[in-house]
Amino acid sequence: MNAIKKRSTPWWVTSVSVIASVGLLTSCASGGDAEGKTDVVFAVKDDPVCLDPQQVTITTALNIGRQVVDSLLDQDAETGELVPWLAETWKTNDDLTSFTFTLRDDVTFSDDTKLTADVVKANFDALNALGADASLASQYLAGYESTEVVDDSTVTVNFSQPNAQFLQGSSTITLGLVGEATTKLSAEDRCQTVVGSGPFTVDSYVPNDSAVLAKREGYDWASKLRNHTGEALVETITFAITPENSVRTGGLQSGEFDIIQDLPAADEERFGTDDYTIYARANPGVPTSLIPNTERPIVADEAVRKAILQGTDRTEINDLTGSSLVEPASSALSSATPGYVSQADKMKYNEDAAAKTLEDAGWTLGSDGIREKDGQKLSVSVTAFYGQDVLEAAQIQLKKIGVDLKLNIVTAGDFFGVVASKDYDFLSASLTRTDPDVLRVLFSPESSAAWGIVDDAALESMLQEQARTADETARNAIIADIQSSLIEHAYLVPLLEVAQVHASTANVKGLEFDSSSRLVMYDVAVDAK
């Protein structure tokens, strides 16, 4: 007790001043930047969880992985044309079961091992063995038989059945090549370390906090789609994992972040000034849609499906729930998919026509505003695990034509449970793939992920035919017919194109989308302000 009396300063004054000085000290630590930055800070929305690009499907993880591994081919995001990358040339056989690549001979992985035909074989064999752990890759490798090493720099990948999407798949991050040592690891271990031949290497990864990439010294094998050659232009990229939208946008404004992922639609106007750049691109694949199960009595009625197609206003849905920088959905494929042909004419919103279609099919308006036929209400459910706002907009629109759309929003796990048991009227989801073959994956009864349950022999033969057709012009013609048929019979009701929308400060240059709408940061440079 005496000790307290002797003290000259009250204890609480001391503690307050300690806290205050800690605050001041840390404020000095976070300094600003005056000249061009060599460290880019990219605020991303979620944790990548796993860094192995061959296993992951989360956008953030793919965006990180794209900087670390290169692919055999590259694909022009505008034209869909395939160009050389790690493979200098390639050829396919007529029935699309065999693909031969000739590799560049100057490529090394970040552990200094050389890219050889053996490494490519090790990659595909390991991926095939991963099976369900690499779910997306296993779809690109459907029917995988073997990889033959022809010579040191020539390799042939064989399939037991035609695989039209493989060539395009080989340009994706999912089939990007990892070093031979990585291929020998278990699925879990691969998630922690990944050795690629890309322009950056993984420097550190702290789950739920950040991943830091460092420039690879001596990198010199970028594809010709990039704007420069040699090493990347910045020293490091820090992916700051920042789930809270307002923290990402606030940090972009205050200069804490240089680039942010997933700019909320509400903030597009705020960042639409000269001080910022907004990047937007639709995901290739199938837009967020209503996907029918035609084994269900009401859904089986083509008139009902057609009325639902005519009675949904995609422009309004896009205004309410989408990005102003992306067009409304206009086909069974998104506008960023190779082979896309607009079906906008057949999908025009027309409330009166929709009502007439239902009227003609015998669905009469009940007193509660819901149509009915033979005592049965025109009530269907849609099961989804995201995109509730999109479905709510559709629900309100369909109510106007007397269709009662019941929303069944479930967890991801329950969604796949419902898919497995086929217990649904409609599913709602989107599928991101770089190749139009996604339509076969979605609709062919033989596909392992057939969500749309449709019994149409003509459609099925077209879906199989495009997967066998090597000639691009001929294949695109079939794909155009498939899109036309899907909309004609309303086997799919597209609602909204899924889009990637990012933003950066205006002094960030060279950020580009690849053909699967993932970001390529090889050309990124940050100018002095």
Partner 1 sequence: MARINVWVFYLLPKLGQFLFVILATYTLTFVLIHFLPGDPLVAALASKSGDSAVLDPAVLDAQRVKYGLDGSLWEQYFGHLLALFRGDLGISISTGVSVTDMIARALPHSAQIASLALVIGVIGAVIITFLAFAAPWPWLRNLLMQIPPFGVAIPAFLSGILLITIFSFGLDWLPSSGVRSPGSQILPAITLALPVGAIFFQVFSSAVFDAMSSSYVFTAEAKGVPPRSIFIKHLLRNALLPSVTILGLLIGYLAGGTAVVETVFSRDGIGRMTVNAVLARDINVIQGVVLVVGATYAIVNLLVDIAYGVIDPRTRPAAAKPSRKAQEVGA
With 0-12 CB in 10 A as exposed, 13-18 as middle and 19+ as buried, what is 22?
A: exposed
Q: What torsion do the CA atoms of 383, 387, 393, 399 make, to the nearest 10 degrees? A: 0
Residue 313, φ and ψ in degrees, nearest 5: -100, 100
Smaller CB distance to partner 1: residue 78 or 188?
188
What residues from 462 to 521 belong to the interface with partner 1 (CB under 8 A)? none
Does position 210 interact with partner 1 (CB under 8 A)? The reply is: yes
Within a 10 A sphere around the Cβ of 272, how many other Cβ atoms?
14
**Binding of residue 25 to partner 1 (CB under 8 A):** yes
What is the C-alpha to C-alpha distance for residues 181 and 147, in angstroms, rounded to an integer? 18
Q: How far is the CB of 203 from partner 1 (least distance, A)?
A: 12
- For partner 1, what does the binding mask look like between residues 241 and 270, x meaning CB under 8 A? xxxx-xx--xx-xx-x--------------
Q: What is the DSSP letter of 370?
A: -
Q: Which is nearer to partner 1, 88 or 209 (CB)?
A: 209
Residue with structure tokens 């009595």?
A: 297
Residue 445 engages partner 1 in binding (rule: CB under 8 A): no
Nearer to partner 1, 27 or 367 (CB): 27
> 388 phi and psi, to 5 degrees?
-60, -40
Tell me the C-alpha distance between 31 and 364, whole Å. 69
**Is 528 a residue that touches partner 1 (CB under 8 A)?**
no
Least gap, CB of 284 to partner 1 (angstroms): 13
Tell the smallest beta-carbon distance from residue 42 to partner 1 (Å): 13
Judged by CB under 8 A, does residue 206 bind partner 1? yes
Beta bridge partners of 239: 42, 211
- E strand or H helix at 409: strand 404-409
Residues 6, 8, 29, 269: which binds partner 1 (CB under 8 A)? 29
**Applying CB under 8 A, does 129 fall inside the site for partner 1?**
no
- Paired residues of 365 in beta bridges: 371
Structure letter (DSSP) for residue 140: H
Residue 100 in contact with partner 1, rule: CB under 8 A? no
Distance of alpha carbon 109 from its chain centroid, rounded? 26
Q: By rule CB under 8 A, what string of x and - marks binding of each residue 353-382 to partner 1?
A: ------------------------------
Q: How far apart, in whole angstroms, are the C-alpha atoms of residue 169 and residue 113?
A: 24
Pairing state between β 285-292 and 426-432: antiparallel
Size of site (CB under 8 A) for partner 1: 63
Q: Does 135 bind partner 1 (CB under 8 A)?
A: yes
Interacting residue ranges for partner 1, rule: CB under 8 A: 1, 4, 10, 12, 15, 19, 22-23, 25-27, 29-30, 32, 43, 47, 49-50, 57-58, 131-132, 135-136, 138-139, 187-188, 191, 206-210, 238, 240-244, 246-247, 250-251, 253-254, 256, 385, 411-417, 419-420, 429-432, 448-449
